[in-house]
Amino acid sequence: MSDVPEELPTDSGAVATNRVLMVFLDGVGLGAMDFATNPMAASWPGFRALSGGADWVRGAARVGPQIHFSGIDACLGLEGLPQSGTGQATLFTGVNCAELAGRHYGPYPHSATRQTIRDQSVFQRFRQLGVAFANAYPPRFFEWVNRTGRWPTTTRACLDAAVHIRTIEDLEAGNGIAADVTGLGLADLGLPVSVVSPQTAGDRLLSIADPHGFTLMEVFQTDKAGHARSRDMARRILQQLDALFSHLAAERPPELTIVITSDHGNLEDLSVKTHTRNEVPLAVLGPGAPHFRDVRDLVGVVPAMEAVLAGGTGATGAPGSLPDAGPGSAHDAGPEGR
């Protein structure tokens, strides 16, 4: 039997006062200020709007009342190159899943981390505050996971927490975001998708985030560009993200904290086609920024977001006091209803 529900569940939970919008960039580290190998070394005003004006390169940092930008460790105490499966599981649970697996592993979740994802993902932890996954997927994605049973970390966590996985029908209705921001990649596949501007995509993302305490968007084209060592691919996705980030920074509601980070390095060094051991960016814009000042690695991101959503103040990355959000402890129906 397929793991895909016949009727995908709706977003879950009730609205929180403090809110977090997390944009996860797959495979983006902080590399050298080297224009020959690092496309992030170029001037990207939208990225800089989320980092207090700092370049997204190795050693850059900014701290302010509503800004935090730093590099954080993605190696998690293990040798070898960080991988997506354990890196993303760590980033979305606050548990060192590379340590649980005994190695870096990817691109899919390691079997040793399945229970942790099931019980402790951001969608489980924050579901009583309302959670949403903004990405919309084409039919071939669902066909592929039906055939292989191999779910990426984000959608696996959605299934475990009964969070709606959006389709291109949602996207065309204006209630979803394409992973390439504009939907051009889906349209190029011949799918019935209208290509939108990054600004329109940003408005849609903010609209999705509005009734939810926690919203996640995932971008995987950054990692694909890194593996391809393609400056053209990198430039295309970075241009779309730069325009999106400019719009989000300009239109961000005052109670919303925007968090941008990654699972491992890759795109920042096109001289190699593999992942890197570089630190990854942690960019935070909004009232929750002080809670991220003590975050040093992927493990610390979830506790810091938890502190933001718990409504605490001050410079701490310690977990907040959210109610228990274990399996079955919250409403499955979201603000939109079923």
Task: Give the model confidence (pLDDT) of 230-257 as tens digits.
Answer: 999 999 999 999 999 999 999 999 999 9
Rounded-to-integer distance, Cα 51 and Cα 261, Å? 11
Pairing relationship of beta strands 280-285 and 256-262 according to DSSP bridges: antiparallel
Higher-pLDDT residue of 139, 336: 139
Looking at residue 16, its pLDDT comes to 53
How many CB atoms neighbour CB 149 within 10 A? 10
Res. 312 pLDDT band, cuts 50 70 90: low
Q: For residue 19, give the DSSP letter.
A: E
- Going along the chain from its start, the domains and CATH numbers come out as 19-310 (3.40.720.10)
- pLDDT surpassing 50 at residue 148: yes
Rounded-to-integer distance, Cα 192 and Cα 76, Å? 42
Rounded-to-integer distance, Cα 1 and Cα 66, Å? 48
Q: Residues 271, 77: contact at Cβ < 8 Å?
A: no
Task: Give the model confidence (pLDDT) of 98-124 as tens digits.
Answer: 999 999 999 999 999 999 999 999 999
Res. 316 pLDDT band, cuts 50 70 90: very low
Q: What average pLDDT does this structure show over 319-326? A: 39
Lowest mean pLDDT among 19-28, 143-152, 313-322: 313-322
Res. 74 pLDDT band, cuts 50 70 90: very high
Q: What is the mean pLDDT of the chain?
A: 89
Q: Residues 278, 265: contact at Cβ < 8 Å?
A: yes
- pLDDT surpassing 60 at residue 137: yes
Q: What average pLDDT does this structure show over 201-211? A: 98
How many CB atoms neighbour CB 327 within 10 A? 12
Res. 329 pLDDT band, cuts 50 70 90: very low
Q: Residues 291, 308: contact at Cβ < 8 Å?
A: yes
Looking at residue 144, its pLDDT comes to 95
Looking at residue 283, its pLDDT comes to 98
Higher-pLDDT residue of 328, 238: 238
Q: What percent of the chain has pLDDT over 70?
A: 87
Q: For residue 90, give the DSSP letter.
A: H
Looking at residue 5, its pLDDT comes to 36
Rounded-to-integer distance, Cα 202 and Cα 205, Å? 5
Predicted TM-score (pTM) of the model is: 0.89
Q: Residues 201, 182: contact at Cβ < 8 Å?
A: yes
- pLDDT surpassing 60 at residue 227: yes
